[in-house]
Amino acid sequence: MIAPTAGNAVLVGLLIVVWAVGWGLFVGRAWQLYRYLRLGRDEDRTQRPLRRIRDELVIYLGQRKLLKRPYYVRGLAHALIFWGFLIITIGTVDLFLSGVFGFRIPGTGTAPFVWTVDLFAIAVLLSIALAVVRRLFFPPPRMHVALDGYLILAGIAFLMLTLLLFETAGLVAGVAAQGFTAPPLATLITRLWPSPFPGESSAVVYGAAWWGHLVGVAAFAAYLPQSKHLHIVTTLPNVFFRSQRPRGALDLITKIEERETFGAGSVRDLSWKQLLDGYTCTECGRCSDQCPALATGKPLDPQKIVLDVRDQLLHEGHRLVRDGADRGTPPARYGPTKTEELWACTTCAACVEACPVTIEHIDKIVDMRRWLAMMEGDVPPEAQRSLTNIERAGNPWGQPPDTRADWAKDLGVPTFAEKPDAEWLYFVGCAASFDRRNQKVARAVVEVLRAADVSFAILGTEETCNGDPARRIGNEYLWQTQAQQNIETLRKYGVTKVIASCPHCFNTIANEYPQLGGSYEVVHAVQLVDRLVREGKLRMRDGATESVAYHDPCYLGRHNKVYDAPRDVLGAMPGVTTVEIAPHHRERGFCCGAGGGRMWMEEKVGQRVNHRRMDQILAVDAATPVTKVASGCPFCLIMLDEAVGAKAVQERIKPIDVMELVQARLIARS
């Protein structure tokens, strides 16, 4: 047995000193970061523990969110380095124990373990080579390439190699002499040496690898918490404590009437989990890659939002810990263009979907907007008008509320007051009630529901805005007022089942009304049609042969994972070929630009988001000509209508709602 410390007190002492320094620096910094984290407000993130464990296995250990298009190769390289690092960690413990106490973890030093180390060494080194080459020669546009990354890559390579040498030399020196075939990398190394670690030289390599590894680990530990590489530690809790709310639901401000401050006016007002997000960001830029605002030249970069929170916390943390009354700078004012960044967000969740470490970008942005809107009254003037309109007229357009049901006048659609035993409530929404183009969609929904003999009624003029734009603009109070009013009306009529043709109504009623005690079975119209088609209650006849591109609305798709229902409905239409707006479809669908209250704000900077979306549709159209672009959202429809006009293709490509396509193919009931 070659024990590198060999019971030598000086060597043991040296090891203790090196490790004490390395791990001491780690613990010191970790304690500091923890104290800063505790500045954040409390938030319970322990509900549904089993799901959290499952997430940990899938997302942390399984690296699920890294292995996504278009990042398969890079994602796999990362996963290999990560899994290799876990192997290294086992090896490090073994190496330490065997060197100091002469005790080996069962299983290590055997052929399977040495083969595992060897194969992972190959995979890790190749992956690191790929990462280095990428950083040097093809740096991804949104990635911050800095010395930090190289140091970490070099560190991992060093630890991997020293472990490999330790295992290999140990084997060769007969530490665990067993007759088995040497694994490939070990074989290569032994070939490079004239005579593979003969006698004493084997002990030298073994000892050097041992010392090199353990000193390397201490250095790595000391450096880690200063680096973005800390994510290897923080991702563990960050995934565990990720939000288990439906993605489409924002956090409720409880007891709003009793509070004195609203939203994030200080880093103290962000929850500890939001601060942990900052520690966890590894600056990979996948969120930035997917952001429609950034892609069209807006000042917003979702990655910067997260890093700003981290930087501000590190900058102010010391002061704030010492002085409990100090609130520091409001995060919404941290940086010269911060408010413009915040107002540019469409809350489309492309960033949230893309983030491999489950960072929650939207919640931070909305918390800062809440502070701007409710504490400062600082809202873009056009958005302010829409909020006032919701307050006074119950719809953001500011249309007379008593005309809300005018679209249905000649259809004889019953209201709940007239038909209290109706099974379903059709919650029409402001867009389909007041916008001329979308009134046609409401009429289509009515016709389709009638064809399938669905028992339904509307609220008529008793309906009021669901509050979604107000909540996303940051006026939580107005959202609660609107929501409570609707919940009260639904309670009055005993409504239990709700159909919405607008994904924003659908999302807020399904996912957010339960926060205020309004729980219903909520479906988007397209989901109900999908169900009715399956059950044979709705049949569609041959229509025109046409290619229809499908545009995923963010609040139907990414926020609620309704990807298949609209495609299945389109697929059930004889003559219709569905065209995917690849690669920006399903999870990577590109926003129309109207979400997050952006519908009610001017868009003056950069390209209009809906024009970029139309560019993507036209690129698909160039390969597979399409005659229609279908969606399931009134705001997408408005945005796409504007975009086909701007691109002068309105004669060729017609934006349409899926429900209108269904309506055109209905087989009338006999």
Name the site residues for another protein (rule: CB under 8 A).
Answer: 256-257, 260-262, 373-379, 381, 384-385, 387-389, 392-393, 398-403, 477
Return d(Cα 449, Cα 659) in angstroms, integer: 10
- Whichever of 48 and 392 has its CB closer to another protein, that residue is 392
| Bridge partners of residue 497, in order along the sequence | 424, 521
Nearer to another protein, 387 or 626 (CB): 387
The answer to whether 236 and 56 have CB atoms below 8 angstroms apart is yes
Residues 654 and 652: their CA atoms lie apart, in Å, by 7
Contact criterion met (CB below 8 Å) for 532 and 572: no
User: Mapping DSSP to helix (H, G, I), strand (E, B) and coil, where does residue 612 land?
Assistant: helix
Residues ≥6 apart with Cβ < 8 Å to 456: 422, 423, 424, 425, 426, 449, 499
CA–CA separation, 527 and 159 (whole Å): 53
Beta carbon nearer to another protein, 474 or 634: 474
Take residue 223 and report the two structure tokens written for it.
Answer: 């450096």
* Closest distance to another protein from the beta carbon of 459 (Å): 16
Q: Write down the least CB distance from residue 587 to another protein, Å.
A: 36
CB of 260 to another protein, least distance (A): 6
Q: Which residues contact 166 (CB under 8 A, 6 or more apart)?
A: 91, 95, 206, 209, 210, 213
Query: What's the gap between Cα 388 and its chain centre?
Result: 31
Q: How far apart are the first and last CA of the chain?
A: 90
Helix (H, G, I), strand (E, B) or coil at 8: coil
| Nearer residue to another protein within complex by CB, 370 or 584 | 370
Shortest Cβ 622–another protein spacing (Å): 30
Q: Report how far residue 291's alpha carbon sits from residue 407's, in angstroms, rounded to the nearest whole number.
A: 36
Q: Residue 204: count other Cβ atoms within 10 Å of its Cβ.
A: 14
Nearer to another protein, 362 or 372 (CB): 372
Quote the least distance from Cβ 374 to another protein, whole Å: 4
Nearer to another protein, 477 or 555 (CB): 477
Sequence length of the chain is 670
CB of 379 to another protein, least distance (A): 5
Q: How many CB atoms lie within 10 A of CB 324?
A: 9
Specify the residue, 402 or 453, whose C-beta has the smaller distance to another protein: 402
CB of 395 to another protein, least distance (A): 8
The nearest distance, CB 632 to another protein, in angstroms, is: 28
* Cβ distance to another protein smaller for residue 60 or 371: 371
Q: 187 vs 403, which CB is nearer to another protein?
A: 403
Q: Shortest distance, CB of residue 624 to another protein, whole angstroms? A: 30
Which residue number, 239 or 393, has a Cβ lying nearer to another protein? 393
Residue 481 CB, nearest approach to another protein (Å): 11
Nearer CB in complex with another protein: 149/401:
401
- CB neighbourhood size of 137 (10 A): 7
CB of 398 to another protein, least distance (A): 4
Query: Comparing C-alpha atoms, which of 546, 538, 536, 624 is closest to residue 585?
Result: 624
Q: Identify which of residues 124 and 431 has a Cβ nearer to another protein in the complex.
A: 431
Structural contact between residues 413 and 458, judged by C-beta atoms closer than 8 angstroms: yes
Which of 301/367 has CB closer to another protein?
A: 367
Q: Which two tokens stand for residue 190?
A: 């032994």
Closest distance of CB 39 from another protein, Å: 23
Nearest approach, Cβ of 44 to another protein (angstroms)?
24
Long-range contacts: 516-523, Cβ < 8 Å, 24+?
516/252, 516/480, 516/483, 516/484, 516/487, 517/487, 518/483, 518/486, 518/487, 518/490, 518/491, 520/490, 520/495, 520/496, 521/496, 521/497, 522/497, 522/498, 523/497, 523/498, 523/499
Q: Which of 376, 296, 292, 298 is nearest to 333 (CA)?
A: 376
Rounded CA-CA distance 92/75 in Å is 25
